[in-house]
Amino acid sequence: MFHNRPAGKSEGAKRKVKGVEGEACSSSSCPRLGSLCQVRVRLKAGSDEAESSGPVEGIGAQSVQPDQRVAKTDATAIPRCGDSVLQVPLGDWTTLRLGEGQCDITEACVEGMRAGETCEILISPLGNGPDVSVPHPAEETMPLCATVELKAFTPGEESWEMSPVEKCQWVKSHKETGGVRFRSGDVWGAADHYSRALKLLITLHGHVKEVEKKGQEQEVEEQRDTNTGDQLQQLPSANEFKTIKAELHSNMSLCQLKLNQPQRAKVSATKATHLEPGAAKAWYRMGQACQMLNELEEARQAFRKLLELQPESPAALKALKDIASREKEINAQLGFRLSKMFS
């Protein structure tokens, strides 16, 4: 199985899992959203050895069962690093909270494992994305081979088992952390968090619509239960839901622009402007994406819309001048070619 890192990252991981006998991992025997997982990641000697060594044996019958020796205070704070793929200290036992996006490839492996299993992964470059170096000895060549061991984990929840309030808390956390990581220069990490937030936010759509449909009558009835009333106050209204979703798509568009993914950035910005037609940043990002795609007329329309929202916007005015210059250059080149054809 191949796992692509968020937003088209330039590494992939191929994995195989061995260690515990039985059927495929079920949701009750695997870590779920919010599970604290004790994991250890180690690099193997080389890709040739990794390919010929066969399956990696796990802890088997001696595996530690879930809930043992994993306390809620054990989560390890790991600063993300732009030149690291696995994002975990190698060789040491580390406690990760599944779903936080702290270590995306490692988390993807852990999602399908049980306590006592070892997962072997091969990491290699994918596509033509931005260069992301992988720390390893200079004489070693790609792909790299690593093992991920899952020692124990606490219970978690599937997204459909979570209350709307819990989902909102996760969305807020991912949105805030995405902003922090973007400002620190970790564009990959930011895109991952915005993506996770959007996936959870989508599952709240039906609930928000239902509450909106029932309106004040339901609110009055539910206010009779104090706990339910408190929860309702923590949920976004329909308008707030649209605004949050638009902001996440707009932020994702910015990340995709930074990652030189203009087509994806255009799609994300389009979604943001459909949700929030007054979102100036989203219009600007759509214009930038269209410029990168050489779709000059669409770019002009986006920047003109930005000027409607923010008259005399220096960024929009400059962009429109750049588009006019580019069109003039294209027309001059076309005229020259035509003159050569008929001369």
pLDDT in tens, 299-311: 999 999 999 999 9
Answer whether residue 151 shows pLDDT above 50. Answer: yes
Q: What is the mean pLDDT of residues 75-97?
A: 76
Q: Which domain holds residue 246?
A: 164-215+226-333
Q: For residue 81, is it within any domain?
A: yes
At 166, is the pLDDT very low, low, confident or very high (cuts 50, 70, 90)?
A: confident
Preceding amide of 164 cis, omega within 30: no
**Do 89 and 124 belong to one domain?**
yes
Task: Answer yes or no: is 343 within a domain.
Answer: no
173 with 33, same domain: the answer is no
Mean pLDDT over 152-169 rounds to: 83
How much is the average pLDDT of 213-231?
A: 52
Residue 317 reports pLDDT greater than 80: yes
* pLDDT tops 90 at residue 161: no
Q: Same domain for 106 and 184?
A: no
DSSP-assigned letter for residue 85: S
What confidence tier does 21 reach under pLDDT thresholds 50, 70, 90? Answer: very low
Q: Is 122 within 8 Å of 3 (Cβ atoms)?
A: no
pLDDT at 94: 86
- 134 in the same domain as 176: no
Burial of 310 from C-beta contacts in 10 A (0-12 / 13-18 / 19+):
middle
Q: Of 40-54, 56-70, 108-122, 195-209, which range is least confident?
A: 56-70
Strands (E), the chain: 2-4, 11-18, 36-43, 93-97, 118-125, 144-153
CB 18 within 8 A of CB 55: yes
In a domain, 342, yes or no: no
For 123-138, write each residue's pLDDT tens digit: 776 554 444 434 444 4
**Does residue 339 carry a pLDDT above 50?**
yes
Counting the structural domains of the chain, the total is: 2
Q: Are 169 and 129 part of one and the same domain?
A: no
pLDDT greater than 60 at residue 148: yes
The reply to whether 45 and 189 lie within a common domain is no
